[in-house]
Amino acid sequence: MQTLSTPQTAPTAPEFDTTIHRRKTRPVKVGNITIGGGYPVVVQSMINEDTLDVEGSVAAIRRLHEIGCEIVRVTVPSMAHAKALAEIKQKLIQTYQEVPLVADVHHNGMKIALEVAKHVDKVRINPGLYVFEKPKADRNEYTQAEFEEIGEKIRETLEPLVISLRDQGKALRIGVNHGSLAERMLFTYGDTPEGMVESALEFIRICESLDFRNIVISLKASRAPVMVAAYRLMVKRMDELGMDYPLHLGVTEAGDGEYGRIKSTAGLAPLLADGIGDTIRVSLTEAPEKEIPVCYSILQALGLRKTMVEYVACPSCGRTLFNLEEVLHKVREATKHLTGLDIAVMGCIVNGPGEMADADYGYVGKQAGFISLYRGREEIKKVPEDQGVEELINLIKADGRWVDP
């Protein structure tokens, strides 16, 4: 169940403040999940099954949801796909449970969006593609009249969708992509964060004129510095305009493996640390299930969500009195199910106890063949190294903080 984050007390002097103060945003409901409004940062991903494969899509959505993906996105390239969503939603309810679903609508997708809006909780449109104008190779200017004419076309196309979502109490993501800005935005603002932000604002204004505010904004780019700048500028512009829409963060096409994960973190972490971002997706060129642990690790490392044990371990050095890598692995295997605990594994008593931060329990090298167990900063007992993990478990059990895996 989703619960509101508990506000922590912040120290008075800002330079000593280690709390992340999340930007105040309006709550936007997507099925049974709320994005923004002080709720924990929501984790989402996207299946890569063909939406026409109803059985396969249901299974993929369920796989993701079961491992903690709170909102699942599916692609809807045609009317047939939009209709298949009705069946997918139904099957999920019959065979599993309600899962908040988002439909991704592509080029000139107005009719598709209108159909799919009946079956999902949120529709994602890309302002650069929603009314797609084929770029003219010989164009060297955009007159104000042309700019406005297309603006008018966008309004006409967007209105029915906005009204449908508004009347059903559903949500819209205005999902700008750096790589697919509309030609007229490129002419006016260039290939810049400003162009991305103006593109989102144009769509927001249309929504607001229809009294629709269940909006989430994203400004993704495949380069981390571009997306960081775009989200920061968006926050600044929204503050100036008195807007409080939640933000969906992501680095697109981050790739795979270690670098894909680092690249996503490089883009998401600076924003999240500044309190910006209400939902995240880590886009990896891997099975979508691989994205979820990365999202949780980023959120946990920043203290924004706690979904696993927090391990503090020293890098080991000449003073290390045991095989730290091996022991950390053993400790992790034995305790990784104890969500909510902080456990430190430190190589020596010279620096270990002081550097294990505020861990709940510590496993610290004492002397050759012996380790010491700590509860907080208090040394509890010295035990032979080969009994270390077992005794650590006994200590956690004695404190009533153990649960069986």
Check binding of 41 to ligand SF4 (CB under 6 A). no
Number of residues that bind ligand SF4 (CB under 6 A): 13
Closest residue to ligand SF4 using C-beta atoms: 347
* Region binding ligand SF4 by CB under 6 A among candidate stretches 19-27, 106-114, 299-307, 340-348: 340-348
Judged by CB under 6 A, the chain residues 305 through 334 that form the site for ligand SF4 are: 314-317, 319-320
Least gap, CB of 13 to ligand SF4 (angstroms): 29
Check binding of 88 to ligand SF4 (CB under 6 A). no
Q: How far apart are CA 265 and CA 262, in angstroms?
A: 5
Give, rounded to a whole angstrom, the gap between the first and last alpha carbons of the chain: 21
Least gap, CB of 40 to ligand SF4 (angstroms): 33
Check binding of 352 to ligand SF4 (CB under 6 A). yes
For 176, the token pair is 């700008």
Give the phi and the psi of residue 379 in degrees, each rounded to 5: -75, 125
3-state secondary structure of 198: helix
Is 69 within any annotated ligand binding site?
no
* Region binding ligand SF4 by CB under 6 A among candidate stretches 126-134, 202-210, 228-236, 343-351: 343-351
Instruction: Show the site string, 261-300: x = touches ligand SF4 by CB under 6 A, - = not.
Output: ----------------------------------------
Q: Which of 392, 397, 292 is nearest to 333 (CA)?
A: 392
CA angle (14 as vertex; 359, 295 as ends), nearest 5: 50
Least gap, CB of 356 to ligand SF4 (angstroms): 8
What DSSP character marks residue 366?
A: E
Judged by CB under 6 A, the chain residues 355 through 394 that form the site for ligand SF4 are: 355
Token pair 């981390």 is found at 224
For 197, the token pair is 């932000």
Number of Cα atoms under 13 Å in the Cβ half of residue 346: 23
Least gap, CB of 357 to ligand SF4 (angstroms): 12
Is 348 within any annotated ligand binding site?
yes
Q: Which of 96, 351, 379, 380 binds ligand SF4 (CB under 6 A)?
A: 351
Q: Which of 101, 102, 36 is nearest to 243 (CA)?
A: 36
Is 317 within any annotated ligand binding site?
yes
Check binding of 14 to ligand SF4 (CB under 6 A). no
122-125 and 101-105 strand pairing = parallel
Q: What's the burial of 50, exposed, middle or buried (CB within 10 Å: 0-12/13-18/19+)? A: middle
Q: How far apart are CA 161 and CA 115, in angstroms?
A: 9
Residue ranges of the annotated binding site for [4Fe-4S] cluster are 314, 317, 348, 355
Contacts with ligand SF4, residue ranges (CB under 6 A): 314-317, 319-320, 346-348, 350-352, 355
